[in-house]
Chains A and B, each alone.
Chain A
């Protein structure tokens, strides 16, 4: 057991990253309004591949230790691609957008907690404390209020 230093900077960075997600939903959602859901996922992956290549060439980030990553570590993009297909199916069901988002948040949060507790995929193991659970309840509770009651009504 050790004390974890306060990580306010990381928290704020993650909060800002969530803001990027809102922009992506706006941009990609606009594409989907004109084209197909496949197109709205295909285009950002295509432009993103070139953007990432450009960033790598410009920034030349330091590469971690010479150990080679396992092959499965390259397959994160497949998981993201399947997500698009699943949500395109549930969006058109009785769940609609609000139900899809709410259940997706639940799945994401519970699996993240599980992964931390088990230290899955070679990432550091972390046991949540009661304060962490309280934070989850508050943030998810507030999110559900926004999803189900915050929209036009």
Chain B
């Protein structure tokens, strides 16, 4: 159990790590180019892993609805936006606002699709998230920003 908990935390760390590496690539290229390399390198990696572990075409993948195949195109914009944002507002703010957007839009999607859920928990959760967003972007803050060039 504790092993799986560590793996789940590690998965979150890798999400952040991936965004930082892609953001670094975008600094020298462009956000969309970093998204291209992320997808191409990821494709090669997953293909190799699937060859090792097998089962890539298990189940009935061709039975899925056509719109399920749109995830890759949305993902390209998602990765490019992450690379674009992380140089401008930092890793923590980028992660926090993406999490906020995912959670709130998830509730909206659930409600729109009629998924059952606890109304009061949804109101409390969305309320806290929106409050956090307001706190995050109100007020002037003094922060130390060291240009990337000075880091090397």
Nearest A residue to B3 by beta-carbon distance?
A: A93
Partner of A128, one of B21, B24, B92, B100: B92
Q: Are the C-beta atoms of A93 and B1 separated by less than 8 Å?
A: yes
Q: How large is the interface on B (under 10, 10 to 19, 20 to 34, 35 or more residues)?
A: 35 or more
Q: Are the C-beta atoms of A49 and B39 separated by less than 8 Å?
A: yes
Residues of B within 8 A of A105 (CB): 12, 99
Q: Looking at the assembled complex, report how far the CB atom of A138 sits from the nearest CB atom of chain B, in whole angstroms.
A: 3
Chain A interface SS verdict (over half): helix
Residues 59-81 of chain B: 1 if any A CB is under 8 Å from the residue's CB, otherwise 0?
A: 11111110111111111111111
In B97-146, the 8 Å CB interface with A consists of 97-107, 109-110, 115-118, 121-122, 124-133, 135-137, 139-146
Q: Show 22 residue pairs from A and B whose CB-CB distance is below 8 angstroms, ordered by the A residue.
A: A3-B140, A11-B89, A15-B98, A20-B78, A21-B105, A28-B71, A39-B61, A47-B69, A51-B73, A52-B76, A55-B76, A61-B33, A62-B30, A64-B30, A76-B18, A76-B22, A86-B7, A115-B16, A123-B20, A143-B125, A151-B116, A151-B117
Residues of B with Cβ closer than 8 Å to A?
1, 4-5, 7-47, 49-50, 53, 55-65, 67-82, 85-107, 109-110, 115-118, 121-122, 124-133, 135-137, 139-148, 151-152
